[in-house]
Amino acid sequence: NLGLVETQNLARNAVPSSRKINGKSLSGDIVLEAGNVGAFSRGSTATVQGEEGVPWNAASGSYIVQRRGDSLLVVHFNVDSGSTPALQLQTQYKNNSIAYRSARDRFGFEEEWTEFYTTKNKPSAADVGAYTKVESDSHFIPLNKNTKTTGYILSKAANLLDDPSSRDLGRSGFLRLNEGLDGLGNMAIHIAHPSVEGAEHARGISFSYGSNGDGDRFRISTYAFDEKGTFKGHRRILTEDDKDSLGSVPVGVPLPWPQTNPPSGYLVCNGQSFNKSTYPKLGLAYPSGKLPDLRGEFIRGLDAGRNIDSGRGVLSWQNDEFKSHKHEFEAIRNETGNSVWGDFFGTGSDYGRKKYSVSNNGGVETRPRNVAFLYIVRAA
């Protein structure tokens, strides 16, 4: 009988009525709830009141935490064992926040809720230990932006000598050069032109390390690049160490020297001739190739149109001269207007009319008070 065989097969595969599912007998229809299979209910597990929320040892589930004016949703996990027996997630409506807290052993929740940072709930600068924008603007220089600051700017010099990647003469800054690059000196303050990206039109001030002694230690110079970015050299900037240096005096200027012999590189103004090929700069000052003889002479400023000592040229010599003058004396006259004979009388036995001279006591020349120096000129 085919029907009987089919029935027997079904009976062999049937579950005995003595079997149970999660403690429920198979005697009829079985209704399984979330708790029967260890799952959360689709609805809330319970509603609790107040800010304290769901206790750590409550049954796992989804709870409504009722507060004044609104409510929170708390998902509570309780395994009731281990160092972390419970975990809770808490959220507000409209994605306003999400936070968590966890229990320790049997002590429960010892810490306050810890919030997650999200795109809607972003941390503040204070939350992460950072500056605000206003504070950052006051502490730092924005990149590629004009900046005015009342604070200090402290920076190391760009190490152009050891770090080739830092070499950018199209940017202003402090440079360490060590004489190895373009003759810019040891250390430099470099000023780049704002309209170009390279060294074109750049200027700077360089400083010496002074390895050759104190004279070089304080040596400073200014340098320049031309419109093509080609280095054009540097020029020494004189300091107080140079104030007594004869090397700073132009070639050919007469100088009063307090010794009888000139220093090295200088000639005495004694009328001597010199080789203009050997001393070309001196030749520009004295085209005749001959120095003026200033021994025993005073130097006088050229009239140059003032009309006090007119008619003279540069380096022209002038003899001594006594300014014209006259002497006067009084004489007695009679009623006819004639001088009375005998108004002036001399002494002695020589009678009759006689002339008397004025005293000629004095030196060999007319001169002011003076101090003697040796006049010299720088030769080259």
> What secondary structure, in 3-state letters, does the chain show?
CHHHHHHHHHHHHCCCCCCEECCEECCCCCCCCHHHHCCCCCCCCEEEECCCCCCCCCCCEEEEEECCCCEEEEEEEECCCCCCCEEEEEECHHHCCEEEEECECCCECCCCCEECCCCCCCCCCCCCCCCCHHHHHHHCCCCCCCCCCCCCCCCCCEECCCCHHHCCCCCCEEEECCCCCCCCCCEEEEECCCCCCCCCCCEEEEECCCCCCHHHHCCEEEEEECCCCCEEEEEEECCHHHCCCHHHCCCCCCEEECCCCCCCCEEECECCECCCCCCHHHHHHCCCCECCECCCCCCCCCCCCCCCCCCCCCCCCCCCCCCCCCCCCCCCECCCCCECCCCCCCCCCCCCCCCCCCCCCCCCCCCCCCCCCEEEEECC
Name the pLDDT band for 22 (thresholds 50, 70, 90). Answer: low
Mean pLDDT of 116-138: 89
Domains along the chain with CATH numbers: 36-115 (no CATH), 158-242 (no CATH), 246-380 (3.90.1340.10)
pLDDT score at 42: 66
- In this prediction, residue 337 has a pLDDT band, given cuts at 50, 70 and 90, of low
> Would you state the pLDDT for residue 3?
57
What is the mean predicted confidence (pLDDT) over 29-51? 74
Average pLDDT over residues 157-184: 80
Report which of residues 339 and 90 the model is more confident about: 90
Q: What is the pTM of this model?
A: 0.39
Q: Does pLDDT of 379 surpass 70?
A: yes
The 10s digit of each residue's pLDDT in 135-154 is 887 777 777 777 777 777 77
